Amino acid sequence: MDWKLFFLEAAEQFSSGQNRPVGGAPASWCAWTTFKRLREDAGYWTAPLPIAAEVGDLGIRDGGTWQQPFVYDELAHVIVPRQFHWEQIGPRTFTSETVMQQVEALSARLEKHSIAHRLTDLLLEIKLY
C-alpha cells in the first residue's frame, strides 16, 4: 500500500496548507489505527488529515496534525468520513458546523493511482486487515 501517495493526494484534495484555519473548522477529518493498537485495545485516533509538509518518505512526521509520528508499515486502517461535525466553545460563544468532505473526488484521485480503497455512502476507507 502506497500510504505516502494516499496522504499526498488527500492533502491536495482537502488541505489549505494548514491544520485548522484560525477560529474555523478543520479542513478535513479522519480516523486511523495501527496493527499494534488493534492488538492492544482496538482503539482509533481522530484528527484532521496531515498536510503535505507532514507526509514523509517512511511515515507521518512527528509534531504535526497527528502530534506524533506514524510509520506507514504500522497503519492498518484509515477512515475519511463523508461528513464530520465540529464544535468550538468559547467564554461566551458556541460555534458548530457540519462539514461535508468530497470523498468522491478523493476516490477519483486514488483510482488514478490504482490505490485500493472502499467508498460507501458514509466514508472512504483503506483497510489492510
Identify the pLDDT of residue 84. Answer: 96
Contact 79, 123 (CB under 8 A): yes
The whole-model pTM stands at 0.91
List the chain domain ranges. 3-127
Name the one residue in this structure whose C-alpha cell is 464530520: 84
Contact 19, 64 (CB under 8 A): yes
CA 63 to chain centre: 15
Q: What is the mean pLDDT of residues 7-24?
A: 75
Confidence of residue 25 (pLDDT cuts 50, 70, 90): confident
Residues 6+ apart with CB under 8 A from 1: 72, 75, 115, 116, 126, 128
Radius of gyration of the chain (CA): 15
Identify the pLDDT of residue 19. Answer: 53
The whole-chain average pLDDT of the chain stands at: 93
Distance CA 101, CA 92 (A): 29
